[in-house]
Structures are given as structure tokens and as C-alpha cells.
Amino acid sequence: MDQTHIDIRGVNKVFATSGREVVALKDINLQIPQGQFVCLLGPSGCGKSTLLNAVAGFALPSSGTITADGQRVTAPGPDRGMVFQEYALFPWMTVEKNVAFGLEIKGQSKAQIDATVEKLLAMLSLTDFRHRYPKDLSGGMRQRVAIARVLALDSPIMLMDEPFGALDALTRRNLQDELLRIWAELKKTIIFVTHSIEEAIYLADRIVVMTYRPGTIKRDMMVDLPRLRDPAAAEFNALKRELGMLVMEEQQRHHNDEMRMAAVD
């Protein structure tokens, strides 16, 4: 677990909108070892998605560098799979076709594709739903399909942008547990964006708290509670309080900024 897998150095990102500059990321430095589960935590607008999109190669930094496995990130690549909050599925394809899609693009043989799809459907408890279309699935099921699609590509890095944000509490916990199981089995490096403190503590090896405008790293901490973690445990709650204070300060800054902007309008 000590080889650097994702290396973020001196990353800045500035957006220019209607004559105003927003510094979304400022001097971000983060070295993520192979197999680490990292949560980016912070209130809305602190640059979590911007940082994730930069690692994905969707929107490159204004300055600074990002490398994944020693290769400079300049575009999206098959080594970095992305799971979004809204389920990025093809509505005209069944569950199994959605999972198989990336493998077909890769030009794998039918036998190979069938074997991988079978394994992933079983892993994500989707076997009985294989012939359904996304519109006939619950939100949790759709997100399982989205995760299976990314796993099908066998990317060593998984980037997840609030993937469980739209789910009810019980479904969310189920999927968190499944993700932890899959992560332990497949040893992926994960960067997971959330604004839920509890979700971050439940999942992460390491929590990176970000500040609101400019987006900087406010705290970078390891979580060494044993898994599966108990949200009712005293240590869990102590950490929740500590992180709560850090996030609240940024939320307050966000709120003040919004009030100032409303006054200008």
C-alpha cells in the first residue's frame, strides 16, 4: 500500500464566469498510494468535483500536474473509471447489456464478456434483474449497474462523485457495505466525493477536508477505526464531532458568500 498511485502536485483551477474569476482549486497536493480509499469531504462549492474531474481528465487543471500510475493525466482513460451521482446508464439497453457495453467496445470475445458480466451481476446482486431496463429499476439498483459497468472495465482507479447521494439511508448503507466488500476484494484505489461526514468516516482510509473558495486542503487525516465501522461507537462519534466543526466553518463561509452575492444582485 505504499506505492504512489495518484500524484496531485501544485494543482490550481480557475474558472472565469461573467467577468469574475472563481478559484475552485488552489495549490492542491495529494499523494495517494495504491489501494487507498480516500474521501474528499466538504460543503457544496469547495471544489471536490472539480478535483475529481481533473483526476478523471474531464477538465484539466489551470496549472499543476496530476499523474496516475506515473502517467500524466491529459484526458479520460480506461485506467480511471467514474461513477456519477446520476446514473449514467443507457436507457435503451438492459442491465446485462449496460454492463457488457464497455467490454464490447474493448473488442473482447463473447465468451470473455459473458464470463465477466456473469461475475459482476452476481457480485452486485443483479442476476435476477439482468433483462430489465434502467427505467424499471430502483435508484439503488441503477447505481449497482453503474458500479458494475465501471468494474467491468477493470480500472485500477475508481472515481466516485457522490454516488449514493440520491439514495435513501438504508439503500445507501447497503451500497456502502457492498462497495467496501468489492474494494477489499479487488484492491482498487478509490477517490470518493461526499458531503456526508458519516459516509466519509464509514468508508475512508483517509479523509481530505476541503475549504470553500478557494478550494484548498484544510485537513488530511487517516481513519484507523477497524471495519466494518459502527456509527454508534464512541470513536466514530468523536471523529464526527471533530470533522463536523471543520466542515461547519466552511459551510459558514459558503453561506456568507451567498448572502454577499445576493446583496450585490
Give the x/- contact pattern for ligand ATP in 181-200, rule: CB under 6 A.
--------------x-----
Beta pairing partners, 161:
193
Q: Which is nearer to ligand ATP, 23 or 180 (CB)?
A: 23
* 180 close to 203: Cβ distance less than 8 angstroms: yes
Q: Which is nearer to ligand ATP, 101 or 192 (CB)?
A: 192
Residue 48 in the binding site for ligand ATP (CB under 6 A): yes
Segment lying near ligand ATP (by CB under 6 A), choices 2-10, 38-46, 66-74, 86-94: 38-46
Q: Which helix (H) or strand (E) holds 1?
A: none
Binding residues for ligand ATP restricted to 72-131, rule: CB under 6 A? none
Residue 42 in the binding site for ligand ATP (CB under 6 A): yes
* 11, 24, 73, 124: which one binds ligand ATP (CB under 6 A): 24
d(CA 228, CA 203) in angstroms, rounded, equals 9
Residue 49 in the binding site for ligand ATP (CB under 6 A): yes
Handedness of CA 162, 165, 166, 170 (dihedral sign): positive
Shortest reach from residue 76's CB to ligand ATP, in Å? 17
* 143 close to 164: Cβ distance less than 8 angstroms: yes
Residue 47 in the binding site for ligand ATP (CB under 6 A): yes
d(CA 169, CA 176) in angstroms, rounded, equals 10
* 132, 213, 219, 253: which one binds ligand ATP (CB under 6 A): 213
Q: Which is nearer to ligand ATP, 99 or 207 (CB)?
A: 207
Shortest reach from residue 10's CB to ligand ATP, in Å? 18
- Cα-based torsion angle of the residue sequence 167, 173, 174, 178 in order, rounded to the nearest 10 degrees: 110
Quote the DSSP letter at residue 225.
P
* 38, 41, 46, 179: which one binds ligand ATP (CB under 6 A): 46
Closest-CA residue to 52 (of 161, 162, 163): 161
Q: Which is nearer to ligand ATP, 117 or 201 (CB)?
A: 201
- Cα-based torsion angle of the residue sequence 250, 253, 259, 265 in order, rounded to the nearest 10 degrees: -100
Q: Is 143 exposed, middle or buried (0-12, 13-18, 19+ CB in 10 A)?
A: buried
Segment lying near ligand ATP (by CB under 6 A), choices 40-48, 88-96, 116-124, 233-241: 40-48
Number of other CB atoms surrounding residue 31 within 10 Å: 11
Residue 60 in the binding site for ligand ATP (CB under 6 A): no
Residue 61 in the binding site for ligand ATP (CB under 6 A): no
| b/e sequence 159-179, b meaning 16+ C-beta within 10 Å | bbbbbbbebeeebbbebbebb
Q: Which is nearer to ligand ATP, 35 or 42 (CB)?
A: 42
Residue 153 in the binding site for ligand ATP (CB under 6 A): no
* 1, 10, 31, 44: which one binds ligand ATP (CB under 6 A): 44
Residue ranges that bind ligand ATP, judged by CB under 6 A: 15, 17, 22, 24, 42, 44-50, 195, 213, 215
